[in-house]
Structure 1
Amino acid sequence: MYAAERQQWLLTRTRDAGRVDVGAVAEELQVTPETIRRDLGTLERQGLVRRVHGGAIPADRLDFEPAIGQRDTVAGPEKERIAKAALAELEGCLTVLLDAGTTTARLASVLPTDRELTVVTNSLPIASMLATRPNVVLRLLGGRVRGTTMAAVDDWMTDTLATLTVDVAFLGTNGFSPERGLTTPDPAEAAAKRAMIAAARRAVVVADAAKYGTDQFVRFARLDQVDALVTDTGLDDAATAAIEAAGPRVVRA
C-alpha cells in the first residue's frame, strides 16, 4: 500500500470509527507505529484529523458528543478499573456528588454497601441505579434533561448546587490536557461541572486515558482546580508527569 492510499484508509477509518489507535492500525496494516504517526501528522497538517494521545480523531468532530449508550461500550475494562481505584478517594466521606457519565456510573455500581452515604447526582441512570440501595440517601438534582447524556443541566440544577457542600465530587470529562485543562462539547454540561467543583471540598476526575489530548469545545476547569485524576495505565509516564505538574495527583489503575 502506497503512503497516499494508507493515509486515505486512515482518514476513512477515523471518520467511520470516530478515532484511530496507532498501535491497533499499525498491526492491522502491518507497518510500524512510526509510519502511522507520520501518516497522521500529514493528515493533521492538511486539517483532516486532530492527533490525540495514542491516535487521532476527525478534525470536524471536536464538538461531537456520542450518546451515553455508545460511550458505555468504549474502554469498558479501563472504566471498571478506574471506578474501583476511585473508591479509595471516598475514605472519610459521608456526602458524595456524582456527575453524569459512563465512568461515574461504573463508580456508582461499586459504591460500598456497608456504610451510609448521601449521594447527590444529576444523572438519571445513576439515580435509577442507586434509588433502592438501603444504605444510600439519594438526592437527585433537577433541571433540563439532555437526551445525549441523560443529565440534568441549566439553572435549576446549578442553583441547587450553589447551596450545597459535599465531601467529594467525582466528575467525568470528554477531554483533558495540560494546555486546555478539562473540556466538554456542551456549554450547559460545562456549567454543571463548574458548579459541582464549586460545591465540593475535593474534586476527583475519573476519565480513561484515551481522552488525554482530546480538547473539546468548552473548558470547565483548569487542572489545578481539581485534586486528583483517576485514569488507566494507558496514560504514559510523560503525560502523567505533565498532568501532575499542572496540579492534580494522578492515579493510574
Structure 2
Amino acid sequence: MSLTARQREIFGWLNDTGYLSTEQLASRFGVSSQTIRRDINELSVQGLARRMHGGLTLPASQNNISYLQRSTAQVERKRRIAQAAVEMIEPDATIFLGYGTTVAEFARALPADRPLRVVTTNLGAVLALADKPAVETWVAGGRLRAGDFDVMGSATVDFMRKFRAHVAICGAAGIDEHGTLYEFQPEEAELSQSLLSHSHERMLLADSSKFGRHAPCRVAAFEQIDHLFTDTDATDAQPALSALCEAAGVTLHAC
C-alpha cells in the first residue's frame, strides 16, 4: 500500500469519523476540491474507503467497528444529538433504548430527577442510568456481546416485547439514499424492528457518518420513524435528506 502523507492522514481521520466531506478535507488541508478528489479516488482504488456523493465513507463491511472505537468517534455530535432528543421526553414516559453509542449518550443526557421508565438492552445506557434515582430501569436479559456492550438474542427480544413504550430511541448502522435503515447483524435488525413496532413514537439518532454507509440487514423505512436527530453535516452526506424526511412525514432535527 503506497499512500502520501496526506492520504494517510485522511485515512486515519476517516476511521475516527466514518464519513468526511470533500469540503471538510479541502478546508483542513488547504488544497482544492479537485486535489482532494484525487486522494479520495486513490483511497477508494486501494479499498480503504468508498467514494460517495460529496465525500467518502468507510468501505462496506459485514461487521461494525468495536464499541470502544464507536464511543470515541463523533463524540460532540452524538452529544448534541442526544441532548436535542432528551428535550422532547416528557416526565413519566416509558422509553425503549436500543443498542449503540449515541443511544448511550442519550441515557447520559437524561436529567437525574426526571421520572421515567426505561427498558433497554444497552449496557452503556444501564451504567449511565445507575445513578439517576428518578429513572426506573429495566434491563433485558440475553447473550452478552462484549465487543458491543449490550445483550442480544431471542430472549432479549421476548423481554422487550413485554412492554409498550411511549417512545423508542434507536440508532442505525447505515442509511441509504432512499431513507432505508440497515444494521450489520440480523438480530440487531430484529430488535430494532421490535422496538419500533411496540412504541407510540419513534426517534432515530444518527450522525452524518451513517448516511451512505452500507450494512447488509434491512431494518425499516423512514416512514416507520417519526423524528430524525442528526448533525448539520448530514445534508452533505445525503443531499436529498430534507426531501426524504418530508416525503416520509419525518421531522428532521439538525443539531
Asked whether 1:112 is paired with 2:115, we answer no
State the alpha-carbon separation in 2 of the partners of residues 45 and 192 from structure 1: 36
Shift of 1:159: 1.2
State the alpha-carbon separation in 2 of the partners of residues 145 and 78 from structure 1: 28
Shift of 1:29: 4.9
SS at match of 1:236: helix
- The correspondence of residues 1-253 of structure 1 with structure 2, limited to 5 A, is 10=7, 13-14=10-11, 17-18=14-15, 19=18, 21=20, 22-27=22-27, 29-37=29-37, 40=40, 49-52=49-52, 54-59=54-59, 61-91=60-90, 94-179=93-178, 181-236=180-235, 238-247=239-248, 248-253=250-255
Calculate the TM-score normalised by the size of structure 2.
Answer: 0.84
1:54/1:210 contact within 8 Å kept: no
State the alpha-carbon separation in 2 of the partners of residues 147 and 135 from structure 1: 28
1:176/1:183 contact within 8 Å kept: yes
Shift of 1:47: 6.8
Gaps of 5+ in 2: none
Shift of 1:203: 1.0
State the alpha-carbon separation in 2 of the partners of residues 49 and 219 from structure 1: 22
**Residue correspondences, number:** 248
| Letter of the structure 2 residue corresponding to residue 40 of structure 1 | I
| Letter of the structure 1 residue corresponding to residue 26 of structure 2 | A
| Letter of the structure 1 residue corresponding to residue 242 of structure 2 | A
| Letter of the structure 2 residue corresponding to residue 156 of structure 1 | A
Calculate the TM-score normalised by the size of structure 1.
Answer: 0.85
2:92/2:115 contact within 8 Å kept: no
Q: After superposition, what is the alpha-carbon deviation per residue over 1:34-54, rounded to whole angstroms, capped at 9, x for unaligned?
A: 442365357658876422465
What is the percentage of aligned positions where both structures have the same residue? 30
1:178/1:223 contact within 8 Å kept: no
SS at match of 1:243: helix
| Letter of the structure 1 residue corresponding to residue 252 of structure 2 | V
Cα pair distance change 1:172/1:150, threshold 3 Å: same
Shift of 1:17: 4.8
| Letter of the structure 1 residue corresponding to residue 240 of structure 2 | A
Of residues 168-177 and 125-134 in structure 1, the stretch that sits farther from structure 2 once superposed is 125-134
State the alpha-carbon separation in 2 of the partners of residues 123 and 84 from structure 1: 18
| Letter of the structure 1 residue corresponding to residue 244 of structure 2 | I
SS at match of 2:234: coil
State the alpha-carbon separation in 2 of the partners of residues 229 and 98 from structure 1: 15
